[in-house]
Structure 1
Amino acid sequence: MFFRFFTDLKRDYGLFSLATRAHINDFLLFTMQSQSVIRMHARDALADFQGHSLPVNTWHSLCGTWSSANGVAQLWVNGMPSSRRFTHSGQSISGTPMTILGQEQDTYGGGFDAQQSFVGMISDVHMWDQVLSPCEIRRYTNNLNFIPGNVFNWRALDFQIAGQVLVENKQDECKNLKG
């Protein structure tokens, strides 16, 4: 799972929540700003990744990897790897997924807490059914040519909007500005 985000929030918030009927936190990424922790759930097992500063008003890239075979989870924040943690192993995600950006699901497709909602911008969401190599993660982080996600591909995403959401095309960077 890989994406970019931008916010000015200084409180805890959910970024990505994938639930199935069997597992509310089948794959979840949640920031705990007050503790400099990013929490990852895989099949309802959690791993806390400590010491990740996410300065406000800055774009961040976040990659969460998890192998169902051995249960190893790892975060990459702005291209820098975390230590690895063991979570749940032996079962891959199965069932009909419900995926929510910017909010944690406390029930399948609902049970939202407004105090944990993300306010900001999310872009370039990709998810694969395998753990990416460090080289591929760096390619994504550095905006180089990378293989789009085979589970979620931001460029071909079918989605529904709920609440106050603005969808806009990616703006080209200004080149050769004079002034």
Structure 2
Amino acid sequence: MHLSGKQFSFTDDPKGVNVPHVTLHINTDSIPKMTVCLRFFSQLQRTQGLFSLATRDHQNAVMLMKYDKGTYKVHVGSHTYDFQDLPTHLLDWNSVCWTWDSGTGLTQLWLNGLRTSQKLLGLNYSVSGDMSVIVGQEQDEFQGGYKQDDSFEGDITDLHMWSHIVSACDLRTYMNQGSIDPGNLLNWNNLSYKISGNVYIQDSDFKEPVC
């Protein structure tokens, strides 16, 4: 479905019965390198799952978590790294991109136009086989194991995933709301998805509306 100009809006379930999340269809069985970008708005400062890709071999094959005080944890299999003290907005949108290359082990995070230094993570790790992609939650098992305490609450838009490392120039363009080639693994403008729990599709207010 074409979601240009739209956003997923996640709200908490007071009864804790239906943990909100969105399942995305990804058409690949191998990811040797990748770039993931998305924009989110949330005023919660607790742990929140932004992007979770599980395989049958590992529930955290590729995962991006947001913690409080500007800390973001990235997972590649059993390998993890915490990027700390990153400038995160509580009253505005945040644009985040994450790159990772199995061949070199280099990984990097971009947030709101600024980048971190590159770190080593998951050198030669293989992400392959059946894949389950979830937005707004962490998978503690393949296609499941969701926890209310990890659920995202807020809005997500403009999610893309590429099977290569997007150039710094293009990442800066994405951060500045410019036009770049959409993701070839996940494309916000042509997305196959399934909504579970309290998630709603609304017009996005990321860009200033014309009233």
Taking structure 2 as the reference length, what is the TM-score of the superposition?
Answer: 0.79
1:141-174 C-alpha deviation (Å, 9 max, x unpaired): 1111201000000010000000001012445733
Match in the other structure for 1:103:
137
Match in the other structure for 2:149:
115
- Where in structure 2 are the equivalents of 1:23-102 lying within 5 Å? 23-34=58-69, 36-102=70-136
What is the percentage of aligned positions where both structures have the same residue? 38
Distance across 2 between alignment mates of 1:57 and 1:173: 15
- 2:185 corresponds, among 144, 151, 160, to 151
Distance across 1 between alignment mates of 2:182 and 2:40: 18
Q: Secondary structure at the match of 1:140?
A: helix
Q: CA deviation at 1:43?
A: 2.6
56-65 vs 87-96, which moves further: 87-96
Partners of 1:13 and 1:102 within 8 A in 2: yes
More strand by share: 2
What stretches of structure 1 of length at least 5 have no aligned partner? none
Which structure would you say has the larger RCO, counting Cα contacts within 8 Å and 6 or more residues apart?
2
Q: CA deviation at 1:44?
A: 2.8
What stretches of structure 2 of length at least 5 have no aligned partner? 1-35
Distance across 2 between alignment mates of 1:19 and 1:5: 21
Matched, 1:173 2:208: yes
Match in the other structure for 2:174:
140
Match in the other structure for 1:14:
49
1:94-122 C-alpha deviation (Å, 9 max, x unpaired): 11110111111111111111011100000
Structure 1 stretches (4+) deviating beyond 6 angstroms? none
Taking structure 1 as the reference length, what is the TM-score of the superposition?
Answer: 0.92
Q: Secondary structure at the match of 1:54?
A: coil
Distance across 2 between alignment mates of 1:37 and 1:60: 13
More helix by share: 1
* Residue-pair matches, total: 175
Aligned-residue Cα RMSD (Å) equals 1.5
1:84-103 C-alpha deviation (Å, 9 max, x unpaired): 11111224421111011111
Matched, 1:164 2:175: no
Distance across 2 between alignment mates of 1:167 and 1:101: 14
Distance across 2 between alignment mates of 1:46 and 1:140: 25
Partners of 1:74 and 1:81 within 8 A in 2: yes
Residues 92, 131 of structure 1: CA spacing in aligned structure 2 closer, same or farther, 3 A cutoff? farther
